[in-house]
Amino acid sequence: MVLQAVLRWGHLWKGHEVIFHVDNSAIVSALALGSFQNAQVMNMLRMIVKLAVQLCFSYSSIWLTSDDNSLADIASQFEYT
């Protein structure tokens, strides 16, 4: 979902810091550290970093419980076009 958000709205974030609210602690850690053991996740992380640089925004992330992240869960059920 983070990569999808960057692809969809990243062009609007120039000069801003974006805080991603994520209910997966492993992804929060990967975003903070810039590293992950899984190759596919690492490729997505590289793309997020590259886009953040190209689109001139910075980011951080915080962990939420799944119960507190219900809006994102609902949104993830819909396909973006």
Domain hosting 42: range is 15-75
Residue 40, domain member (yes or no):
yes
Residue 10, domain member (yes or no):
no
- Model confidence band, residue 65 (pLDDT cutoffs 50, 70, 90): confident
Tally of CA atoms within 13 A in the half-sphere of 57 that contains its CB? 20
Digit-coded pLDDT (tens) for 9-58: 999 999 999 999 998 899 999 999 999 999 999 999 999 999 999 999 99
Number of domains in the chain: 1
Whose CA is closest to 27, among 3, 5, 53, 51? 3
Residue 5, domain member (yes or no):
no
Nearest-angstrom CA–CA distance, 75 and 78? 6
Residue 2, domain member (yes or no):
no
Residue 31, domain member (yes or no):
yes
Residue 4, domain member (yes or no):
no
Residue 6, domain member (yes or no):
no
Residue 30, domain member (yes or no):
yes
Whose CA is closest to 17, among 68, 73, 55? 55
pTM of the predicted model, to two decimals? 0.78
